[in-house]
Amino acid sequence: MPKPLRFIILTIVAAIIGSATMIYAQTNKNSLQKAFKADFLIGTAMNTAQIEESDQQSITLIPTEFNVVTPENIMKCEIIHPQWDKYNFDLADKLVAYGKKYGIKINAHNLIWHSQLPLFVKNIKNADSLKMFFENHITTIAARYDGKVYSWDIVNEALDEDGTLRKSIFLQKLGPDYIVEAFRLAQKAAPHTELYYNDYNIEDPKKRAGAIALIKKIQAAGVRIDGVGIQGHWHLGKVPLKNIEESIKEFSALGIKVMFTELDISVLPNPLAHNTADVNVQAQNSATLNPYPTGLPDSVKTEFTKAYTDLFKLFLQYKKVVSRITFWGVNDAQSWLNDWPIKGRTNYPLLFDRNAKPKEAYYKIIELAKQ
Ligand code: XIL
């Protein structure tokens, strides 16, 4: 068969499969996105294999269950901007095409973050060069995807646990106004994109106060901020419901959207003294720290179901101001919590198991939505 003809046939077949999946997704009443359609967006983080649709388990599952996605890694600085004058847009462009194909919104993640920075940025010594990188990075990437992505995590994890600004390279070299400046640059480059601040533990009162001060400062400067993302990396038995509820109230009182952006519930012991999602932290493995290598006991499964049910009851109670719930991954096999903060553990933090089968928690929260 001549090459151009083969290309046309393949394109038509791909389009048919794409629209069939979309129609299936839209008619499957028991999917998460269907169940919560009137309440909030439902999202997942996507890895490279999922974006490229080589992960068989996710091909229909993602467009069926979710109506918004966040790239787990491919839009982070070390991947999308590995050298001073080199950008890798391939995978981000594929993600945009993926979103278009299935009618799924994209929350781009992220522009300014102290982690997963390429070496060239870590090695920048003088403030002027860092400022130049900062402006180029934000402007180039935000402009390229303006109108193509729904929203951006403009600044990620800029706060320390006590609510003061993290002593990152950006704070040290650019000073405390760098966050306002990041939003100002993004607003200019991406006028059709929502702009968010995203962080972990900002439900905690001290850190929350820091986040509120930060958001107020951006607003007072006359710069646009559309929402705040509470990451939601929590532990079974320690999901801080009361703090979460207070945070929803206080953040929404600022007139911005409140989102849960990286939800997962670890069932494994926390080797660290406190809750964190700092990707730079590491701990040693041991049998006691990896208690369920072959499966989860029923008692833990029950507790897990209850934790998600309680959380979603709360989310539904505040559905007027909570605009999105995004899980940090589709299924347990894919979760970053198998390798962080300890490499090689077996964790069970998501609604789909290692075979991508929905767990009891999945059905329970869908039931809640129907009540
Ligand atoms: C994690 C990814 O899931 C991992 O694959 C990667 O190795 C490290 O980063 N907070 C964030 C996310 O904002 O970008 C992090 O994602 C998890 C913590």
Ligand 1: residue whose CA is nearest its atom 9: 279
- The first and second tokens of residue 172, run together, are 């040290």
Taken in order 295, 300, 301, 307, is the CA torsion positive or negative? negative
The C-alpha angle 323, 203, 301, rounded to 5 degrees, equals 80
Q: Residue 228 to residues 68, 101, 341: CA-CA distances in angstroms?
A: 16, 28, 25
Ligand 1 pocket check for 337: Cβ under 6 Å: no
Query: What is the DSSP secondary structure assignment for residue 42, as one 8-state letter?
Result: E
Higher-pLDDT residue of 252 and 12 is 252
Nearest-10 Cα torsion for 343, 344, 346, 347: 20
Indicate whether 23 pLDDT > 50: no
Residue 279 CA to ligand 1 center (angstroms) comes to 6
Q: Which residues pair with 331 in a beta bridge?
A: 352
Residue 337's pLDDT band (cuts 50, 70, 90): very high
Residue 44 CA to ligand 1 center (angstroms) comes to 13
Residue 336 CA: which ligand 1 atom is closest? 3
- The first and second tokens of residue 157, run together, are 């994890």
Ligand 1: residue whose CA is nearest its atom 15: 279
Domain ranges of the chain: 32-370
Q: Residue 243 to residues 192, 227, 231, 256: CA-CA distances in angstroms?
A: 32, 18, 14, 18
Q: Are 42 and 32 in contact (CB under 8 A)?
A: yes
User: What per-residue confidence (pLDDT) applies to 353?
Assistant: 98
Those residues whose C-beta lies under 8 Å from the C-beta of residue 256, and which sit 6 or more positions away, are 215, 225, 226, 227, 228
List phi, psi (to 5°) of 248: -60, -45
Residue 48, classified by CB atoms within 10 Å of its CB into exposed (0-12), middle (13-18) or buried (19+), is middle
> Which residues are catalytically annotated?
157, 262
- Overall average pLDDT of the 26-44 stretch: 87
Those residues whose C-beta lies under 8 Å from the C-beta of residue 137, and which sit 6 or more positions away, are 77, 81, 111, 112
Residue 17's pLDDT band (cuts 50, 70, 90): low
- Overall average pLDDT of the 62-72 stretch: 98
Ligand 1 pocket check for 350: Cβ under 6 Å: no
Q: Which long-range contacts (CB under 8 A, 24 or more apart) does 161-164 make?
A: 161/201, 161/204, 161/206, 161/207, 161/274, 161/276, 162/206, 162/207, 162/210, 163/206, 163/207, 163/208, 163/209, 163/210, 163/211, 163/213, 164/210
The one-letter amino acid code at 361 reads A
Ligand 1: residue whose CA is nearest its atom 8: 279
Residues 68-123: tens digit of each pLDDT:
999 999 999 999 999 999 999 999 999 999 999 999 999 999 999 999 999 999 99
Rounded CA-CA distance 142/191 in Å is 9
- The first and second tokens of residue 202, run together, are 């900002």
Confidence (pTM):
0.93
Indicate whether 216 pLDDT > 80: yes
Identify the CATH number of the domain defined by range 32-370: 3.20.20.80
- The first and second tokens of residue 328, run together, are 């940090």
Indicate whether 24 pLDDT > 70: no
Residue 321 CA to ligand 1 center (angstroms) comes to 26
